[in-house]
Structure 1
Amino acid sequence: MLKTVKQALFSTDIQTPKWTAIETPSSDYEARQYEATKWVSTEVTSVKDWDSAISTGFMRLFGYIQGNNEKKEKVEMTAPVTTYIEPGAGPACESTITVSFYIPPEHQENPPKPTESNVFVTERPQMTVYVRTFGGFTNGAKNQEQILQLSECLRRDGKQFDENNIYTAGYDSPFKLLNRHNEVWLIAK
């Protein structure tokens, strides 16, 4: 557990999913093609409290990597921690926020099955995303601001993307104070 906590706190030697860079016409964003991969996920519903939903989801998934799975096997911490946000039907409706950890390569073929009913393994297909990177500490409002900026840049450049579903990606522990790395992703059409 100490090694996993150290990884979570200091973001050292953390594995990430493989992707290939795609040339873009702008330095405002980048395009990446991610390989198909498996992730361990949990869903949290929230009307406006994005930060609390992320914390709840993170702790569920942290339990899974600490051995709360059928094999009682510890799984290495990875990055990024992603959230996939499916907006509700209206302004006061609940959004579904899926928090996910990338499953490291040594477990991709046969990941340990979660024992909690609200934790599940999913396979993301190969996908191309437009990415905007930013630093500092993030929250729901800052993520929305970055998504709006990314979408404006993509429209300016004539790029087609899914406007309804967004990802956020965090690479750092909440205890890391400097040189933080955050991203927002929009899925290319």
Structure 2
Amino acid sequence: MDRGGCQMSGGGGGGGGGGGSDPDRHGMITLEDLESFSEDRLSDSGNGSLEEEGETMEEDEGSDRLLHYWQDVARGHQVDVPQDMAEPIQQLTSNNHGRSHREHIPFTLLTRKEKCGELLYEKRHYEKGHWACITMREDTYEQSICYGFMRIMRYICQQNSLGDYLGMTLPIVTVIRTDENHSVLSNDVTVAYYLPEEHQAQPPHPSDTDIVVEIWPAAIVYTRPFTGPTNEVTIIDQINAMAELLDSPGECVNDSFIVAGYTNPAHSNRQNEIWFLERH
């Protein structure tokens, strides 16, 4: 996780001012928000599902209403969704009507540590693979995630050398950097998307020159699940909690970590993981 890139290795740049932490704020809007908008059983009014609403929007008013809905949601996170996001939002909605369409990043489970039946963490091995990533430096963590995902989403939705929809993979990950005391997040946040298996051999080139497709080397990852929103406060808390659970935390990179997201971050029971990377 070099500061100039987004690989799953090395030690990232330390320090830097994280922006605008507020433990009461909901998690940011991510690429999977946009992808799963028509699936997750959530509603801004609390009495319906996004699946139903997404289908209604497609049938009745199409991409414009989807765009306007996302603009309203994003406004609450101090994020502007531009007009040119209408087509990518529509594509992700129409191409992903079920979780079977989402490819999970392959890994080998090495060990699990449990206590009283509760999972503390897993040790996994991830093979090397192609990832598309972009590093953002917005005023707040949430803004960096939102704007980074929107650009990655354009790459997935035809703004690539194939001119075709590439498909979704999970989790979508963000590489974060901290100071050595794990008390402050850097405002450099890298958003990364694992290329689907069919595109691993020959990854399509992004039209956006700020998106880089890299081969991340094989990595040993210590990962702990957590639920709820992700923001500066919850991430720091999860990093410190994980550090206390590891038998030998010194074997892991100390100032770069990964947050992996599996479900819509607005969901009250959002599924996330914090990843520590073993040093080479």
What residue in structure 2 maps to residue 5 of structure 1?
A: 93
Inter-partner Cα distance in structure 2 for 1:173 and 1:24: 26
CA contact (8 A) 1:41 1:120 kept: yes
Per the alignment, residue 63 of structure 1 pairs with: 154
User: What's 1:186 paired with?
Assistant: 276
Change (3 A) 1:88 1:178: closer
| Residues 168 and 92 of structure 1, relative CA distance in 2, 3 Å threshold | closer
User: Which digits, 9 at most, give the CA deviation of each residue in 1:92-145, with x for residues without a partner?
Assistant: 995421101110000001111001111110111110011010112222211111
How far off its partner does 1:12 sit? Answer: 4.8
Gaps of 5+ in 2: 1-87
Q: SS state of the match for residue 255, structure 2?
A: strand
- Letter of the 1:147 partner, please give it: I
Q: Which has the higher strand share?
A: 1
Rounded to whole Å, the distance in 2 between the matches of 1:42 and 1:14 is: 21
Which protein is richer in helix relative to its size? 2
The answer to whether the Cα contact below 8 Å between 2:230 and 2:265 also exists between their aligned partners in 1 is no
- The reply to whether residue 15 of structure 1 matches residue 15 of structure 2 is no
Q: Quick one: distance in 2 between partners of 1:130 and 1:7?
A: 33
Where 1:163 maps in the other structure, the secondary structure is: coil
Whether the aligned pair in 2 keeps the contact of 1:87 and 1:95 (CA below 8 Å) is no
Partner Cα separation in structure 2 for residue 148 and residue 139 of structure 1: 14
C-alpha RMSD over aligned residues: 2.6
Alignment check: 8 A CA contact 1:30 1:131 kept: yes
Q: Identity of counterpart residues, as a percentage?
A: 29
Structure 1 partner of 2:121: 29
Please, which of 148, 157, 173 is the counterpart of residue 264 of structure 2?
173
Q: Following the alignment from structure 1 to structure 2, what is the Cα–Cα distance between the partners of residues 93 and 76?
A: 31
Q: Contact 1:146–1:184 (CA<8 Å) still a contact in 2?
A: yes
The total of aligned residue pairs comes to 185
Gaps of 5+ in 1: none
Q: Relative to structure 1, is the Cα distance of residues 24 and 62 closer, same or farther in structure 2, using a 3 angstrom cutoff?
A: same
How far residue 24 of structure 1 moved from its aligned partner, in angstroms, is 3.9
Post-superposition offset of 1:43: 0.7
